Amino acid sequence: MVPLSEKRHRLYPSEIPEVILGLRLRLIQLLEEKNDPEKAQLAFRCLHRLLEENPGRPKYPEFSWEYLSYYVYKGEEHILNRLEEMKKTKLVD
C-alpha cells in the first residue's frame, strides 16, 4: 500500500467549485487570526493553482497578509467569475 503522503491526489470536476470556495473561507479565517502565515500561504497556493489556467509550473505572487486580503476580499468577484468560466468550458461540473 502506498503511504498517503506519497499518493498524488486528484479532484473530480464536480469537487473543484466546493474546494475553491472552501479554500477561500479558510483564507478568510486565517486572515482574521493572522498568526499562521505558513498555513495561509499553503492554502493560497492551492487556491491560486485551481484558479489559474496556465500550463507548467505555477508562478505565485509574493505572499503578504495585505496581498492575501486583497485577493480574498477584493478578488471575490474574480474568483466567482473564474468558477463560472470553468463551468462554461466544462472544466468543472
Furthest CA-CA distance within the chain: 44
Residue 3 maps to a domain? no
Structural domain contains residue 20: yes
pLDDT in tens, 6-28: 677 788 888 999 999 999 999 99
Q: Are 73 and 27 in contact (CB under 8 A)?
A: no
Asked if the structure places residue 72 within a domain, the reply is yes
| Total structural domains within the chain | 1
* Alpha helices for 34-75 (secondary structure H): 37-51, 65-69
Q: Which of 62, 2, 19, 18 is nearest to 37 (CA)?
A: 62
| 51 touches 61 (CB < 8 A) | no
Structure pTM? 0.84
pLDDT at 84 over 70: yes
Question: For residue 48, what are the domain limits?
Answer: 13-52+61-88
Could you report the per-residue pLDDT of 29-43, keeping only the tens digit for each? 999 999 999 999 999
Q: Using one digit for the tens of pLDDT, what is the confidence trace for 72-82?
A: 998 888 888 98
Greater confidence (1 vs 13) lies with: 13
